[in-house]
Structure formats: structure tokens, C-alpha cells
Amino acid sequence: MTALKNDRYIRAALQQPVDCTPVWMMRQAGRYLPEYRELRAQAGNFMALATNPELACEVTLQPLRRFDLDAAILFSDILTIPDAMGLGLHFVAGEGPAFHKPVRTEDDVRKLFVPQPEDKLKYVTDAVSTIRKALDGSVPLIGFSGSPWTLATYMVEGGPTKNFSIIKAMMYQQPHLLHQMLDVLADSVIQYLNAQIEAGAQAVMVFDTWGGVLTPRDYREFSLNYMQKIVAGIHRTYEEQRIPVTLFTKNGGDWLADMAATGCDALGVDWTTDLADARQRVAGKVALQGNMDPSVLYATPERIKAEVATILKSYGAGSGHIFNLGHGIHQTVEPDHAKAFVDAVHELSRPYHLVG
């Protein structure tokens, strides 16, 4: 494999010295880019893009041609695993992802299985290897998965939800059933991420989008425990290279210390937690990723730059910070504003990494 020309992201995730703070954006390949919208229209729909390795590669590379980003992230979806389980993933206009076969009974859970990556998820690993080759060592490639709890919420609810009533009813009425489901999902995520690493992903991330809807007790039991199992089960070193693992729980700022204790390398932080507080809570155990409010990108370039300066100051000197948004970039953001954001991070962060 080609050596990395830009390894800032990997080094920062491992808390090693860098010349400036690396930056990438969640959902950096997506609907805010006109070239993405054009390609999606040609393909017909999202899944036609995501399941075609060549098209997924093209979408992954699109933001790298516009912006001086320090990492690429696989273009895919967090719901690929339940789709491979045969639950019938589809997308409802104006609502989002949904399943034809939600998982709600003991019989439903009993039928769940660990999808083999070389079978129904081969399009993902093929995309990873295609992207890795196309990157030619320019920047590292991040692979990812949804967390078991987040996957389960979609599988049980059958689609988007505001109050999580169906899965929380299962959690309180039949916790053994939910644990059985989460265990299968954790095993699935481990195999899936390991397959991505073997195909060429140089770092991996677990998105726990809905962990923040749980009480602290339930978060530890039904979300964090299974992410800890994943951290323990995936390749931490592959082909003599360290593979950084990042966990991200949206609205999970109160649990950063518990998350850091899983043994992961980095934690995502959303915009509701100050990075200075986050850095104090994790006490040097992990790197931190984040955490500008995505809505700041609607502001002027000058205001964006000012916010970048505020966040850099909050984290302070030294490595271990990967600059990102606190969640995904909004689809109506102007690409020029995203460029202003990326350029500001590189320009303003260099004084924080001076040695001696």
C-alpha cells in the first residue's frame, strides 16, 4: 500500500505531534455539493450511488477536489448492516430511511444473523478498496458503522422517530430481547469494520447517533457496553499500522469519561459541550474530534473564521484535536463557506502546535 503523504489525521487521533490541526467534515460528501446532486440525479437514488463502488468512490473524492481536507470518509450509510439482514431498507421522500420488516418480536430477533462482509456487504468493501487506490496515499480513508443501539432504534421503530417509544418499550419490558439483538449487532459491526480495515480503511468510526436519548444508566447498559465490545473486537493494528478508532455519541457530552475508558483512540464531541471541558473530562486518555455547530456555516466567512478561532482556543495547545463539525454539514450550506471553514482551521491552528 502507498505511504500516506498527509498523515495529520492519523497522528492527531493517536495524540502525536502535528504541524497544524487536521480537519474533515461529517457528511462532507453529500447534498450541499452541486456535483453530488448531479451524480445522484444520474444514478436515480441514494442507494444506487452507495451500492456502486465506482460511484461511491467518485462521491467520496468530490469534496477532496474542492477543499484541503485531511481525511476522506467512505461514502455509505449507517444502515447497511440491517439492510444486509434482509429487513428491506428503503428511503421515504421527506422522511428518511425505513424498513419493510421492523424487528419487534422474539421471532423477529431470533431470525437475525451476522451478515458476512464478503457476501451482501461486498459492495462496501469493494468501495473501500477502490477509494483507497484512488486516493493514492493523499489522505487517510475513514471507514465507519452505526452503533448497535443506533442500528437497533431504526430496526425496531421501522424508521425515523421523535420519541423512541417502540424501542424503549422493548428496553423496559423485554430487556433480554433487546440485549440479544444488540449482541448480534455488535458482532456484525466488528466483522464489518474489520472487513473495511482489511479492504483499506486506515481508521474507523462508530456513529452512535441516538445514544443521547437514553438515561445515563440505560446508555451504559444498552449503548456503551456494546461499543466497548466493538473496540475490543476490531483490528487495532493492521499491516503494522495503528488503526485509530473513534466513538461518537451525539448529545453524549456527560459520558465522555466513560467513553474514553473503552480503550478507543478518539471521541467525537458535538457542539453542546465545550472542548475545554471535554479535554478535562477525558484527562488525556483520548483525542477529541469536533465540534463547531454546523449552522455556523450559514454565517459569513469572517464569522466562520472567528468561531474556528474560539474552538481552537478552547482546546488549547498540543495535539489530540481533530477539527470537525459537531454533526453533519447541512445540505443547504454554500460550498464556499465550507472552504472558508477548512482553510481557517489550517491557518489559525499552527501556533497551537509550535514545539520548543
Among 19, 40, 236, 274, the active-site one is 40
Give 321's strand partners: 288
| 40 in active site | yes
Strands 287-292 and 266-268: parallel
Among 27, 66, 220, 236, the active-site one is 27
Quote the Cα angle for 214-183-166, to 5°.
45
What angle, 0 to 180 degrees and rounded to 10, lies between the N-to-C axes of helices 301-315 and 275-282?
30
Q: Confirm if 189 and 208 have CB atoms less than 8 A apart.
A: no
Q: Based on the number of CB atoms within 10 Å of its own CB, is 326 exposed (0-12), middle (13-18) or buried (19 or more)? A: buried
Half-sphere exposure of 239 (CA within 13 A, CB side): 11
Among 9, 36, 154, 226, the active-site one is 154
226 is in an annotated binding site: no
Among 31, 220, 236, 303, the active-site one is 31
Strands 241-242 and 237-238: antiparallel
27 is in an annotated binding site: yes
| 154 in active site | yes
Among 8, 9, 11, 77, the active-site one is 77
In the 8-state DSSP scheme, what is residue 197?
A: H
258 is in an annotated binding site: no
Which residues have CB under 8 Å from 210's CB, separation 6+? Answer: 149, 150, 153, 164, 250
209 is in an annotated binding site: yes
327 is in an annotated binding site: yes
| 132 in active site | no
Q: Confirm if 282 and 321 have CB atoms less than 8 A apart.
A: no
154 is in an annotated binding site: yes
Q: Confirm if 224 and 262 have CB atoms less than 8 A apart.
A: yes
30 is in an annotated binding site: yes
| 187 in active site | no
| 31 in active site | yes
DSSP of 34-70, one letter per residue? HHHHHHHHHH-SHHHHHT-HHHHHHHHHHHHHHS--S
Indicate the annotated binding residues for substrate: 27-31, 77, 154, 209, 327
Where is the binding site, in residues?
A: 27-31, 77, 154, 209, 327
Q: Which residues are catalytic?
A: 27, 31, 40, 77, 154
